């Protein structure tokens, strides 16, 4: 994922969603070349938005009117607690916590730059 303000996004994702910095590689101009954020046994990777070969294939939600073509699902133990944390940090809640027909409980939101995230207790590996 690419963010217009990757340094701010990294701090926000850690505060709002509970990610931890595994590796962050800043550039001299303050942008982020590459970052790895972990949550339990999962990881997301991100960087600053830039006009390069990959950037020609990937746009931020703000670049395309807020539309995204995919989202991220993260398994969490305490859905309601996670939801409260994200909402407090300013996540835009798109779907409040609800028990799912297929099992588990979950909610959906957008982050500070409009990416779509889903968090839930349903673990397809369990």
CATH of the domain at 49: 3.10.180.10
Q: Is residue 97 part of a domain?
A: yes
Q: Mind listing the pLDDT tens digit for each residue in 68-78?
A: 888 899 999 99
Bridge partner residues of 105 (DSSP): 99
- Please give the residue range of the domain that contains residue 69: 2-120
pLDDT at position 70 = 86
Q: Is residue 58 part of a domain?
A: yes
Q: Is residue 125 part of a domain?
A: no
Bridge partner residues of 38 (DSSP): 20, 43
- Residue holding tokens 């939801």? 83
Give every CB contact of residue 108 below 8 A, 6+ residues apart in sequence: 71, 93, 94, 95, 116, 117, 118, 119
Q: Is residue 126 part of a domain?
A: no
pLDDT at position 119 = 98
Instruction: Count structural domains, the chain.
Output: 1
Half-sphere exposure of 55 (CA within 13 A, CB side): 11
pLDDT at position 114 = 96
Q: Is residue 108 part of a domain?
A: yes
Q: Is residue 85 part of a domain?
A: yes
pLDDT at position 91 = 98
Alpha helical stretches, state H, 1-126: 6-17, 79-88
Q: Mind listing the pLDDT tens digit for each residue in 62-108?
A: 999 998 888 899 999 999 999 999 999 999 999 999 999 989 999 99
Q: Mind listing the pLDDT tens digit for each residue in 8-60?
A: 999 999 999 999 999 999 999 999 999 999 999 899 999 999 999 998 998 89
Q: Is residue 99 part of a domain?
A: yes
Q: Is residue 95 part of a domain?
A: yes
């Amino acid at each position: 994922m690419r963010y217009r303000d990757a340094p701010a996004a990294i701090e926000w994702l850690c505060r709002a969603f509970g990610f931890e910095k595994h590796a962050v590689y800043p550039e001299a101009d303050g942008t982020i070349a590459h970052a790895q954020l972990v949550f339990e046994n999962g990881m997301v990777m991100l960087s600053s938005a830039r006009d390069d070969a990959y950037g020609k294939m990937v746009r931020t939600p703000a670049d395309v009117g807020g539309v995204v073509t995919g989202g991220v699902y993260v398994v969490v133990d305490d859905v309601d607690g996670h939801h409260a944390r994200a909402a407090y940090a300013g996540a835009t809640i798109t779907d409040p916590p609800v028990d799912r027909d297929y099992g588990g409980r979950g909610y959906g939101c957008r982050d500070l730059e409009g990416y779509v995230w889903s968090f839930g207790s349903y673990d397809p590996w369990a």
